[in-house]
Amino acid sequence: MSGEVVRLDGVTLRRDGRDILQEIELVVRAGEHWTLLGPNGAGKSSILGICGARTHPSSGTAEVLGHRIGRVDLQELRRRIGHVDPRHPLRSPLTVTEVVLTGLTGTIETPMRWAPTPAQTALAHRLIAEVGLAHRCDARWPTLSQGERGRALIARALACDPRLILLDEPMTGLDVAAREQLLETIDALAHRDPGLASILVTHHLEDLPETTSHALVIAGGAIAAIGAIDDAVTTETISRAFAHPIEVTRTDGRWAARTHRDRRAAVPA
């Protein structure tokens, strides 16, 4: 898969006279599964906001799904991108089916005077079954566990048949079992649609799906490392980005991090 889904060229983002992002370069192609890794406040969510057509760069250019940010109807573009955010600001007690259907309308709540067609409802039910929630399709949002909400939001993101899915710290608030279930659901996306691209934000290596293919490691708004996951995520790059001697390991496709056994080791400059 070689088609570009996202291209950021020299992207800088300024807020109140301060650079939040500095000269970010990123190309995400169809079928690639990226992670944005870095400490809190590094700029990960800011990059995701630009990739999701929610934020304009202050300088540089950003192209998403072949459209230049600033020269396209952002609302229409957002409808073609799947968004998964555990802080989903839903206020109404919608059912799981209704929540998934809002992926078609690109809204948080069900639009007034809008009703799904039988085919759209059948699609929602199929997607709900794919993420393992068929038994909960009529359950109300307030009654769902955080893990169930995460899987429902993935089904919602898939409703618009996106070429790009953005996952903003999807493991937030999950216990170990719920995290593993959600990771399985995310890993299944790569097999479901080989052309789908994804970008996942996290600051925990343990939260990386096995299918993660590339990484952008960011610190202080600047790129610390970028490329194929095995090249970008190393003891040296993670220690430098987090300003702490961290030993990085990978076993059976899963990543882990711990303070380096030799606490006297200096953080790479």
The answer on pLDDT for 75 being more than 90 is no
The answer on pLDDT for 214 being more than 80 is yes
Residues 29 and 126 in one domain: no
Pairing of strands 254-259, 67-68: unpaired
Contacts of 107 (CB under 8 A, 6+ apart): none
Residues 75 and 4 in one domain: yes
Q: Could you tell me if residue 129 is inside a domain?
A: yes
Q: Could you tell me if residue 5 is inside a domain?
A: yes
The total number of residues shown for the chain amounts to 269
Tens of pLDDT, residue by residue over 10-58, are: 999 998 888 899 999 999 999 999 999 999 989 999 999 999 998 899 9
Instruction: Kindly tell me the sign of the dihedral angle through the C-alpha atoms of 170, 175, 176, 178.
Output: negative
Q: Could you tell me if residue 242 is inside a domain?
A: no
Distance CA 121, CA 189 (A): 21
Tens of pLDDT, residue by residue over 92-149, are: 999 999 999 999 998 899 999 999 999 999 999 999 999 999 999 999 999 999 999 9
Contacts of 67 (CB under 8 A, 6+ apart): 77
Instruction: Give me 81's structure tokens.
Output: 């991108």
Global pTM exceeds 0.85: yes
Mean pLDDT for all residues in the chain: 92
Distance CA 269, CA 263 (A): 16
Residues 76 and 167 in one domain: yes
How many domains does the chain fold into?
2
- Report residue 79's pLDDT band, with 50, 70 and 90 as the boundaries: confident
Residues 13 and 144 in one domain: no
